[in-house]
Amino acid sequence: LEEEGEGFPARNYFLPGGGPGSLILVSGVGMLKTAPNAVNAQSFIDFLLTSEAQQYFANETYEYPVVAGVAISPFLPPLAELDATAADIPLASLADLPGTARLLSELGILP
């Protein structure tokens, strides 16, 4: 949001301390084993991992690139400077889809 100038009433903020507010989300790509068009899907994945595509995402959507040598946006701090730690989340506990849906419904997020 820095590009909007000093008069813009919002800013990106990265919380220190590695708590839940310092979450860094990762955009990923994958392909199902049963993909009906695996060759084109792999070609698309290969394209997303090119320097050109990574630079687009870095500049236009402010993603951190995963390809070495691609510059981050000047509006983002270097990833190494963020005080983020890996979350210790037992992935098996995330399998309760009905419980999650119930909780989201109780909160009014889902109908």
Do the beta carbons of residue 64 and residue 55 sit within 8 Å? no
- Provide the residue ranges of all domains of the chain, joining segments of one domain with +: 2-87
Instruction: Please report which residue ranges of the chain form alpha helices under DSSP H.
Output: 38-48, 51-60, 97-106
The predicted-structure confidence for 12-44, as pLDDT tens digits, reads as follows: 777 777 666 777 777 899 999 999 999 999 999
Per-residue pLDDT, 79:
85
pLDDT at 109 > cutoff 60: yes
Spatial distance between the Cα atoms of 7 and 53, rounded to a whole number of angstroms = 32
- The tokens for 89 are 């989340």
pLDDT above 80: residue 100: yes
How distant, in Å, are the alpha carbons of 15, 30, 45, 92, 111 from that of 59?
A: 23, 23, 19, 36, 36
pLDDT in tens, 39-88: 999 999 999 999 999 999 999 998 999 999 999 998 888 988 887 777 77
